[in-house]
Amino acid sequence: MHSITADASLEHRIHLELPAARGGDQAAYGRIVRLSQNATTAIALAITRDVQASQDIAQEAYLKAWQQLGRLQNTTSFLPWLRQITRNLARDHLRGRRERLVAGETAELAIAQAADPDGCPMQRIVDDETGRVAADLISELPDESREVLLLYYREGGNSKQVAALLGLSDAAVRKRLSRARRSLREDLIARFREFAESSAPGTAFTLLVTAGLATFAKPAAAGTLAGVAAGSAFGGGVAGKAALGSAGAIGAAGAGLLFGGLTMWLCRTMIARYAETEAERRAILRLYDRWFVGGGVVALIVMLPVGFFVQRGVLPSVWAAAGGIALMAIFNHPLLTSLPRLMDPLLARDAARDPRGAARRALAYRLMFGSSGLIITNLGVLGSMLILFLRNA
């Protein structure tokens, strides 16, 4: 039996994980994501020239592939199949962006100000410039060389590994690398390398995709997921699970964390689609990340340790109750103030253009972010606190 070379080992390792992944092994699929995520995000980035969009697209590609993995008959076709899914999603993203009407500069500034009235104008200028530099660097390259050069630097300069991930010969990779280097001025080569390396997805990307798999997997035992529903609404995603840890259900908190991560990502993606300009998109994501992602991190850092010590009787139950109330305040504030100011004009614009489709989208939005979502979230947190007191009575 011939030996596997070091350069081909990455592709070989992916193929070794596929049988278990096809059988529903989420950990095996997570390892596939970790091994191939540089390639998928590079493909999406080469098409969109937008780092955040490229990671969103790659995440969607992995979740779509997971849903359809059982249909894959030949494991050697997995990487070409995944690449095609990624390219299709990236092109759909560009097509959708081109079809949107561009709002005026005044509207952009008003939306950005509503989302972040205290924001630093200088930071917005830096963000704009960073995005433009990234797009300009990628645009300097021939179309066929973008994926290769991005992945080459992300994979530590291993051309054979790039060839395996992109389904090319090593000679073809080297030819495209040479053409790409000739296209860029010498002073831009170092900048492009730094950009490629710094924009590569990390461990958080893998964890986020793996968390999303729980939505499509078989449900766990009722005892393990006893409290997941309490935090399944937006805002309750991470906070609700952390509060359930306070009730003594550490296992439920862990399972809820995965489900909550997916919930937050899906909500983030959903509201970003209302944006028609880059300024609108940045304003929405800045508000979301500041309050909800940041609030989720606070919940994890604070509530899981509190739950652990309450469960063991080191801390009184009132500590967990106080933490739950504080988290309710953190998530309720933007849902009642900042988010409506930002999103109401966008929802109204959507309704004016497509009343029938907008009605369905608005219903989903209200369940996640509106009064219905707020009620469900608060009931989830209050319910977890009630469980806490009943268990410790």
What value does the CA radius of gyration of the chain take, rounded to a whole number of Å?
23
As a whole number of angstroms, the distance between CA 388 and CA 383 comes to 9
Q: What percent of the chain has pLDDT over 90?
A: 13
pLDDT at 31 over 90: yes
Question: Residue 50, Cα to own-chain centre: how many angstroms?
Answer: 14
Q: Helix crossing, 317-336 with 294-311: angle to 10°?
A: 160
Q: What is the pLDDT of residue 133?
A: 57
Dihedral through CA 161, CA 163, CA 167, CA 169, nearest 10? -140
Q: What is the pLDDT of residue 380?
A: 67
Q: Which of 17-26, 143-152, 180-189, 295-304 bottoms out in mean pLDDT, i.e. has the lowest? A: 295-304
Q: What is the pLDDT of residue 44?
A: 92
Confidence of residue 116 (pLDDT cuts 50, 70, 90): low
Which runs of consecutive H residues, i.e. helices, occur in 199-293?
Answer: 203-212, 236-246, 250-272, 278-288
pLDDT at 33 over 70: yes
Confidence of residue 8 (pLDDT cuts 50, 70, 90): low
Q: What is the pLDDT of residue 230?
A: 34
Place of tokens 């710094």: 198
Q: Which of 40-49, 125-134, 241-250 bottoms out in mean pLDDT, i.e. has the lowest? A: 241-250
pLDDT digits (tens, 9 = 90+) for 127-162: 444 455 566 777 777 777 788 888 888 888 888 888
3-state helix, strand, coil in the chain (%, to 5): 80, 0, 20
DSSP 8-state assignment for residue 142: -
Q: Which of 212-216, 287-291, 348-352 bottoms out in mean pLDDT, i.e. has the lowest? A: 212-216
- Residue 116 backbone phi and psi in degrees, to 5: -145, 70
The token pair that represents 67 in the structure block: 């849903």
Place of tokens 């009407």: 101
The token pair that represents 370 in the structure block: 């509106």
As a whole number of angstroms, the distance between CA 309 and CA 256 comes to 19
Contact 179, 28 (CB under 8 A): no
Q: What percent of the chain has pLDDT over 70?
A: 66
Q: Helix crossing, 159-166 with 143-154: angle to 10°?
A: 120
CA nearest to 334, candidates 289, 364, 301: 289
Mean per-residue pLDDT over the chain, rounded: 73
Q: What is the pLDDT of residue 186?
A: 72
As a whole number of angstroms, the distance between CA 235 and CA 380 comes to 10
pLDDT digits (tens, 9 = 90+) for 332-390: 778 788 888 888 888 888 888 888 778 878 887 777 777 666 676 667 666 666 665 55
CA nearest to 135, candidates 194, 49, 195, 200: 49
DSSP 8-state assignment for residue 168: -
pLDDT at 5 over 60: no
Mean pLDDT of 15-25: 89
Which amino acid would we find at residue 123? Q
As a whole number of angstroms, the distance between CA 160 and CA 25 comes to 29
As a whole number of angstroms, the distance between CA 260 and CA 243 comes to 12
Q: What is the pLDDT of residue 341?
A: 87
pLDDT at 191 over 80: yes
Place of tokens 């070409």: 80
pLDDT at 181 over 90: no
Residue 73: other Cβ atoms inside 10 A: 7
As a whole number of angstroms, the distance between CA 105 and CA 156 comes to 41
